[in-house]
Amino acid sequence: MPCAVIAVGTGRYADPWHPFTATGDAVAALLRTDGWDVSIDADVDHALTVLAGADLLVVNAGDPWRSAPGDPAPLRRAEAAATRCLDDAVARGTGILALHAATATLRDYPRFREAIGGEWVEGTSWHPPIGEATVPVDDPSHPVTSGLATVTVFDELYTDVVVDPGAHVLVSHELEGRRHPLVWTREHPTRAVVCALGHDERAYASPDLQRLVRQAARWAGRAGDA
């Protein structure tokens, strides 16, 4: 049975906009239906230290460096044990599935940014108002998007997110004549899938997103590989 750890944003990884606990539960239910042994850790830094037996790290958390005008400066720190364990997990080939706001999380851990191949950039990245959308699948031949020609979902469509040249874009949306990646993979130094969809429970009610997340977990975690 493949094993997954889901890191859910609380504390400095929480924000006012994303119900990370609810969406983390939704993802856990999808993976368990697919035969995964799933543990949920609401302490994101701690979750990085318990990956020794995990095939997959799912990150569903927000920006730890976020602050509003008048707020105290955000705490910026990487825990030594978490850094070491994350580095070791990536070197072993533990897969990563980064969901929605996870494009802006774990900023204290450079190995995470390297592994996922992209990020939300404060002051540059943005999204149109949340709503129903149907977006095309750019590569339906990939195992993550197999069986999907489009993805219909009630969600935010992240825009002007930075994606590294080595990433493989699977799903994108078009705005103002440009395409903006929503789902991509990265295979250096381990298998990672970034799915920028998944704002709240309404997004995870989409059969298309459910399928995409399940297939992304299988591919990144090498579930079923010989």
Give percent of the chain above pLDDT 90.
91
At residue 73, does pLDDT exceed 80? no
Indicate the pairing of strand 95-99 with strand 192-195: parallel
89-121 pLDDT tens trace: 999 999 999 999 999 999 999 999 999 999 999
CA torsion 45-46-47-50 (nearest 10°) is 140
Q: Which residue has the higher pLDDT, 218 or 189?
A: 218
Mean pLDDT to the nearest integer, 157-177: 97
Reduce the DSSP state of residue 31 to 3 states and report it. helix
Q: Tokens representing 226?
A: 């010989």
Q: Tokens representing 206?
A: 């989409």
Q: Which residue has the higher pLDDT, 63 or 74?
A: 63
Q: Which DSSP letter does residue 163 get? A: E
- Indicate the angle between helix axes 207-220 and 20-33, nearest 10 degrees: 70
Separation of alpha carbons 100 and 118, rounded Å: 12
Domain boundaries, the chain: 3-220
pTM score: 0.96
At residue 68, does pLDDT exceed 80? no
> What backbone torsions phi and psi does residue 212 show, to the nearest 5 degrees?
-60, -45
30-53 pLDDT tens trace: 999 999 999 999 999 999 999 999
Please check whether residue 198 is in contact with residue 177, taking contact to mean a CB–CB distance below 8 angstroms.
no
At residue 170, does pLDDT exceed 50? yes
Separation of alpha carbons 47 and 109, rounded Å: 13
The CATH number assigned to the domain with range 3-220 reads 3.40.50.880
